[in-house]
A and B are shown apart, each in its own frame.
Chain A
């Protein structure tokens, strides 16, 4: 049975989104994306060289991938909106990942500015994927604002600390209709699997892949972990109990 993720009007087979930052060179990006089986690839518009096409990061993203330009560098909603419009005008499509970060120490997103930018860009026809600190009320407002998905962080960007915000992300998964894509903080395939097992719709991984000794092998490992996590979620993982319960109960005969 097919299990597709729908964002905007696009049906996606694969639930591992990848990034293009922090790689030791751009030439290994295509093989890494291929190993990850990613269909959605994010890139910072501020890193795109429009006037020197041969060094343009976009050229290293396989044609069958959906470009997800991000507004990295934006400190306010207004800046994010301008970056989104530049990206669209430059031919990067109408998907946009809103990153509004005005904290250079931890790189935590500014949820309020993100909501503002989402509202305006969604009205202008963008497929908006906002990157946020996980907060139910914020996610609800993003839903109302017309976001196509919500991207809560698992831990601060690049920290590889894993799903530190697990309980909050779980609430978003339970309460929000939109796809939940766990973005930032995932450092190991097991952590990606953990997010998928609990019902996240997708994960975005950059640092853990781009800074691995072998980026291609790590991308492959993440692909497998995301698929395994999703399969386990669909299979219905067993309930967590405080006490042991025997798989062959001794008093089972009483119910016969």
Chain B
């Protein structure tokens, strides 16, 4: 049994036709329910539901306050290597993009750690481009050993691993895994992943599950919004999160909502996800999965992030650099451009003004 079985059950559904049939009455009915099923979730993604955003937002807000309180966890990403062996048409790290690649040595990792820790962060997301050769497990373990002294919680966002490899990283000090499927539609997945090991759809799709099996405390999934129509991708992501939440009760499941951002390639999104659509996506996730963590990165603008916070967000990145070595030094080569360039103190201040407590530490390594 894998999430692929769930995906296979629905993959031939004509979403566009189905969603068009949903009426205002159907949406109103879902709004009265406490527990939403998969069909209710899909209803909330329909065009008809876009006329109910305020009602949905009120409910999403209430549910979030009830389950998470007025608190937002803050984290920072750290890129340790941008070497990549894949040709993904939408990504700045694409192996065919010509720029000076970097990989931090351990003393550089430590300098970055010090620069980030000084800002107050306790949760760190470690990222690499997808290259086992340049960022092998042995290198990652050394990196983790350095970072452990600075951050009580460490999450990885790297190429997909085998269960045993995830276990090795957990034993070294990792407690969370972030891995995006990028696009759930199998055909589009094949088209945009032109070459490289990332072409293996199933290996990537099952990676979050392998992370759960290995004992990750937190697993974060997501679709890269813009690669396919957002209703379909949101549905797949929500069902994937539900599958993991139901099967791996001990793992905290989170969803991210990354939208495609400008980068050094020339890829144009297949589907434009407007701000209003992003709101609908987040509200549908919150109502379908009230206890799920919802993560919002600095890909989005400051103004939009401020307005999205009460709609269900539980985690924010702040003062992020998407360049290798970008904290201790200014670097040009980024995976994508960030949109919210406020300092962490400015983000903290904004949260406090909005009546939220910025939370830096939410795990103590044991």
Question: Chain A residue with minimal CB distance to B244?
Answer: A104
C-alpha spacing A207/B67, complex, angstroms: 8
> Can you add 20 more A-B contacts, CB < 8 Å, to A47-B359, A86-B366?
A21-B69, A21-B71, A22-B65, A22-B68, A22-B71, A23-B69, A23-B70, A24-B70, A24-B71, A24-B357, A25-B357, A48-B361, A73-B364, A82-B366, A86-B364, A104-B245, A104-B249, A104-B252, A105-B249, A211-B65
- Assess whether A211 is in contact with B291, with CB atoms less than 8 Å apart: no
Give complex CA distance A105, B291 in Å: 6
Chain A, 70-95, CB within 8 A of any chain B CB: 73, 75, 79, 82-83, 86
B-contact bits for A83-123, CB 8 A (1 contact / 0 none): 10010000000000000001111010000000000000000
Interface range, A side = 20 to 34
Q: Mark A36-52, 1 if CB is under 8 A from B, else 0.
A: 00000000011111001
When the two chains form the complex, which single residue of A45, A49, A73, A210 contacts B122, counting CB atoms closer than 8 Å? A49
- Within 258-306 of B, Cβ neighbours of A (below 8 Å) are at 291
Q: Can you list 11 A-B contacts with CB-CB less than 8 angstroms, sorted by A residue number?
A: A22-B65, A52-B120, A86-B364, A102-B250, A103-B249, A158-B66, A207-B69, A210-B69, A210-B70, A211-B65, A211-B69
Task: Determine if A25 and B362 form an interchain contact, defined as CB atoms under 8 angstroms apart.
Answer: no
Given contacts A24-B356, A105-B249, A211-B65, contact A47 B70 (CB under 8 A): no
Give the Cβ gap from A188 to chain B, nearest Cβ, in Å: 13
Q: Is A26 an interface residue (CB 8 A)?
A: yes
Q: Within A155-208, which residues are at the interface with B (CB < 8 Å)?
A: 158-160, 207
Answer whether residue B243 sits at the interface, using C-beta atoms and an 8 A cutoff: no
0 or 1 for each of A12-44: is its CB under 8 Å from B? (1 = yes)? 000000000111111000000000000000000
- B residues within 8 A CB of A25? 352, 355, 357
Provide the main secondary structure of the chain A interface. Answer: loop
Interface size for B (C-beta < 8 A) is: 29
Residues of chain B within 8 A of A52, CB atoms compared: 120
A160 in contact with B66 (CB, 8 Å): yes
Q: B36: shortest Cβ distance to chain A, in Å? A: 14
Q: B357–A83 contact, CB under 8 A?
A: no
Does B363 sit within 8 A of A, measured CB to CB?
Answer: yes
Cβ A23 vs Cβ B357 within 8 A? yes
Most chain A CB atoms below 10 A, which of B66, B68, B217, B361: B361
Contact with A along B2-22 (1 / 0, CB 8 A): 000000000000000000000
A-B pairs, 9 with minimum CB distance? A22-B69, A24-B70, A102-B250, A82-B366, A103-B249, A46-B364, A24-B355, A75-B250, A46-B363
* With A49-B361, A83-B364: A158-B352 Cβ-Cβ less than 8 Å: no
Distance between A182 CB and nearest chain B CB, rounded to angstroms: 19
**Contact between chains at A207 and B364 (CB < 8 Å):** no
Q: Which of A23, A46, A82, A83 has the most CB of B within 10 A?
A: A46
| B122, B356, B364 interface centre (most CB from chain A within 10 Å) | B364
* A102-B249 contact given A47-B362, A83-B366, CB 8 Å threshold: yes
- In the complex the two chains form, what is the Cα distance from A22 to B67 in whole Å? 9
Which B residues are in CB contact (< 8 Å) with A21? 69, 71
| Chain B residue, CB-CB nearest to A106 | B291
**Whole-angstrom distance between the alpha carbons of A67 and B68 in the complex?**
22
B residues 187-213 near A (Cβ < 8 Å) are: none
* Cβ-closest chain A residue relative to B253: A104
Most buried by A among B217, B249, B253, B362: B249
- Chain A residues whose CB sits within 8 angstroms of the CB of B70 once the complex forms: 22-24, 210-211
Instruction: Please encode chain B, from 331 to 366, with 1 for each CB lying within 8 Å of some chain A CB and 0 for all others.
Output: 000000000000000000000100111011111101
Q: How far is the CA of A45 from the CA of B363 in the complex (A)?
A: 8
Q: B215-268: which residues lie under 8 A (CB-CB) from chain A?
A: 217, 245-246, 249-253
